[in-house]
Amino acid sequence: MTAAATIIVTGGASGIGLAVVGRILDADPSTTVLALDLADCPDRRAHSLHCDLADLDAIAALELPAHVDGLANVAAVPGTAPAAKVLAVNAVGLHALTFRVLERMRAGAAIVNVASVAAHRNTAPADQVARLAMARTDADRAQWLADNPIGGPAAYDTSKRALLEWTVALSAALQPRDIRVVSVSPGPTETPILVDFTASMGAEAMARSAATVGRHGRAAESAAAVAFLLSKDASWINGVDIPVEGGLLAARAAADSPITLEGLSS
């Protein structure tokens, strides 16, 4: 008899994280889901695990289960927060938690990192993106910001670009252990922090995105991708990013393409 899986979902109290929790438990109620967040998870089937991902001491002190089969890194701070806070959670804290969980992962486990299409807005040079992807301490973060003085919105974009690069590197490093690492990049999504993204990215830019594909995404749509990628059904998907944005990037690319396919949209 196969033992029930144990999965940790960060940001599990709201938005995409909460939707991931529900999706996993709806599919298999025997799964043990630990919803890591500052607040309790509204889905009472999950086990709430309180932690501030900006606090490395709190991450180090977390009581984790003996084994973990999946980790969904969903929690993130939007660009309305100070750059130091954004990078503390979206980069350094994410790295620290992942490395702690990896100590409890066995062959067949999976990690899904929730990045963002905002990664394409990053303007930091490649060497600085790589440097952020390797940040492990608060001192690393502080020095990176001293060398790259940016505000919250740019810090968000760069943190997500770094997460994409980190996903690829981590996937390659863990391949011998048969642990998969993939990322999901949602577009604008109807969650409680959509208002923050509107403030940091601009109402006009958000409206253009919605107009291009007809609407914003829904948390359940990104959650479906995350839950699938955590599952055994995705066992041969590794080291890649899956955009979940209704074709937004394709529509933008097609606008600059010489290829025309007239009459298909009517």
Highest average pLDDT, of 107-111, 189-193, 249-253, comes from 107-111
The pLDDT value given to residue 266: 58
Question: For 108-122, 181-195, 229-243, which range has the lowest pLDDT when averaged over its residues?
Answer: 181-195
Report the distance separating Cα 199 and Cα 122, nearest Å.
Answer: 17
Catalytic residue flag (residue 259):
no
Three-class DSSP category at 241: strand
pLDDT at 62 over 80: yes
Gap between the Cα atoms of 76 and 78, Å rounded: 6
Asked whether 16 and 25 are in contact (CB, 8 A), the reply is no
**Distance between start and end Cα atoms, the chain:** 53
Length of the chain in residues, anyone?
A: 266
The two three-digit tokens of residue 165, written as one number? 């690069």
**What are residue 107's phi and psi, to 5 degrees?**
-55, 140
pLDDT score for 1: 40
The Cα angle at residue 58 between residues 54 and 59, in degrees rounded to 5: 80
Q: Residue 2: what pLDDT?
A: 59
Average pLDDT over residues 237-260: 93
Residues 33-51: pLDDT tens digits? 999 999 999 999 999 999 9
Looking at the chain, the whole-number percentage of residues with pLDDT higher than 70 is 98
Cβ-contact 182, 239 below 8 angstroms? yes
What is the arithmetic mean of pLDDT over 69-95? 98
Neighbour-count burial of 3, counting CB atoms closer than 10 A to its CB (0-12 exposed, 13-18 middle, 19+ buried)? exposed
CA distance 242 to 222: 10
Q: pLDDT for 85-109, tens place per residue?
A: 999 999 999 999 999 999 999 999 9
pLDDT given for residue 141 in this prediction? 98
Domains of the chain with CATH codes:
6-255 (3.40.50.720)
Q: Which of 144, 156, 166, 197 is catalytic?
A: 156
Asked whether the predicted pLDDT for residue 151 surpasses 90, the reply is yes
Amino acid letter for position 78: P
Average model confidence (pLDDT) across the chain? 95
State how far the Cα of 158 lies from the Cα of 162, in Å rounded to an integer.
6
Six-digit token pair at 79? 């660009």
pLDDT at 113 over 90: yes
Tell me what pLDDT residue 192 has.
85
| pLDDT higher than 80, residue 265 | no
